[in-house]
Amino acid sequence: MHARLLEDRSLDAATRQAIEAALKEKFANYAFNVVNPDKPQDARALLHVISEGVLDRADPRRIAEVGFAAYRAVWRGAPAEAVDGIALYGYQKKIPADSIAAWASGYRDGTEAGVPGEVMADAIHEAMARNWSDASFRTVKWALVYAVKSGWDIRLYGAWLLDGMRKDPAHPGAVEARLRQTFAEAKAQNVRLPEPEYKGAFQVSAAPPPKVVWTPAALPQDWRRVVPPAPPQPPQLPEQPRIWPGLEHAVRSYLGTPYVWGGLSHRGIDCSGLTMTSYREVSIGIPRVSRQQYATGSPVPANELREGDLIFFDTSGNGVSHVGMLVDAAKGRFIHASSSHGVVEAELDDRYFRTRYLGARRVVR
């Protein structure tokens, strides 16, 4: 950690020393753990959490606490790709490592069974925001899995389930039992249930498919250091001047939206969700995750940036981990989703972003 923090040009000496002191104190009993070079996910998760804390100017002791929870969750076997995002909730409130591990493993269990990622992510956000016990979260997770196996509309069921948990959070088993009967009867009678009043980080009704869809290039084996090639340009790709007014309106409409890992709505969204949904509103489809977005469109030199370009950052010392959209090329201003502050406008010339900038891609003509 000392060596990696020394490489971070956005840190001044005093800040780096304060973070290292907090890490030494928090990780005292783990100080001699050896990072497995073939599976360094626990250390990478820690670095990502530290970097996000630096961006949010969090107290060094808080950075150490959140990093410790993330490290322990991965160390205990939770999937690192989920822990990376979920652990950042620790900058909103104190979260035990056991809960982070339960949520990350639950996300893996649910999505592998066919539950949409944004539905599982919203369940995790509800668990965090409303202080569910880990047992309650597991009940909700398996209820969602059962709904998939039963052939029910999983997005509609998820909305009903999370709405029921808001109304009766102390009895997840009873909520699930009532819904199981309701949805089973509706299926037997071939009746579609109405959408509940629940508003969360996913939409019950899926948006129409975009007219233009980018297929990302295959990521190079060393994609953390090698820029991916430009994939084939899809037909009928629109020109930037034609779609920019609508795209700017779309991305700016999310300003102030809270950060929800995996979220895709104005109730909660993450960085790659922001860029994907904004482009989707002008009928251009790009991949869901930032590293695949980095393999989409054409690379753009820094001196040729224009509004609408996707700009990518390495916030973890591990390749692409953050994305935003340029909204003012002359002033270098972009919009992105911050884990602590939600969707905000920032400056590319900021020391933090300048030292972590990787490149840009253009997905229009």
Structure tokens at 73: 């969750």
Q: Which two tokens stand for residue 41?
A: 């996910």
Q: For this structure, is 266 an active site residue? A: no
From the candidates 171, 249, 336, 341, which is the catalytic residue?
336
Residue among 2, 249, 271, 341 flagged as catalytic: 271
Residue pointed to by tokens 């090639």: 229
Task: Kindly report the number of other CB atoms within 10 A of residue 53's CB atom.
Answer: 24
CA distances from 131 to 62, 135, 246, 355 (A): 20, 11, 38, 37
Q: Using an 8 Å Cβ cutoff, are 287 and 213 in contact?
A: no
Q: What is the DSSP string of 176-213?
A: HHHHHHHHHHHHHTT-PPPP-S---SS-SSPPPPPSEE
Confirm if 66 and 56 have CB atoms less than 8 A apart. Answer: no
Query: Does 271 qualify as catalytic in the annotation?
Result: yes
Answer yes or no: 171 catalytic.
Answer: no
Burial of 25 (0-12, 13-18, 19+ CB in 10 A): exposed
> Which of 2, 48, 249, 322 is labelled catalytic?
322
CA–chain centroid gap for 313, Å, is 14
DSSP letter for 173, please: H
Helix (H/G/I), strand (E/B), else coil: 130: coil
Q: Is residue 37 helix, strand or coil?
A: coil
**Rounded to a whole number, what is the distance in angstroms from the first to the last CA of the chain?**
42
Distance CA 185, CA 179 (A): 10
Q: Supply the residues annotated as catalytic.
A: 271, 322, 336
